[in-house]
Amino acid sequence: MLEQQILFLEAAIPSGAIAAVLASRYGCDGPLAAALVVATYLISLVTIPCAMLFIG
């Protein structure tokens, strides 16, 4: 059971902040990438605890 919860948390972790850095470095839309990374973190503040309640 503990292994299942750990794997679930690892899969549910939002995208890393390095995506925004790489987007900016390689000439892509850095501000958009940064906004999306922040959005995934904010959404995960709600979805991960709710999902953990469902899996036990």
Joined together, the tokens standing for residue 32 give 């958009």
Structural domain boundaries in the chain: 2-55
pLDDT the model gives residue 12: 81
- CA 39 centroid distance within chain: 9
pLDDT the model gives residue 51: 85
**How many Cβ atoms from other residues are within 10 Å of residue 33's Cβ?**
19
pLDDT the model gives residue 17: 79
pLDDT the model gives residue 39: 92
Joined together, the tokens standing for residue 4 give 């299942």
pLDDT the model gives residue 5: 83
Q: Tens digits of per-residue pLDDT, 1-56?
A: 788 888 888 888 877 878 888 998 999 999 999 999 999 999 989 988 988 888 87
